Amino acid sequence: MINDTIPSAIIAGTQSIQYEMEMIYVIRNNSEWENLTHEEKNHILYLKQKEMLEQFHEKGAITDKEFNKSLCDLTEKMEGGKI
């Protein structure tokens, strides 16, 4: 079986990425938004803000230090609301 040769951390990371992509799809298409729980909506908003920070970083609009600080602050704030 292929999963026996792939470390579980990689599999878990891939599943997490898949989940994030699905949530971003919901954001962009506004599909199923009304059916989501408050926690799911907050998580989607977190992912959207994280994606925006990543885009700023990739384009050089913010430095590594600014990106790391902003992402840390965002994560801490959202963890208070249980991302």
Angle between helices 8-29 and 38-58 (to 10 degrees): 100
| pLDDT tens by residue, 28-50 | 666 677 788 888 888 888 988 99
Distance from C-alpha of 56 to C-alpha of 43, rounded to nearest angstrom:
20
Distance from C-alpha of 11 to C-alpha of 75, rounded to nearest angstrom:
23
| pLDDT tens by residue, 4-17 | 444 444 444 455 66
CA distances to 3, 17, 37, 54 from 8, in Å: 8, 14, 29, 26
pLDDT at 69: 95
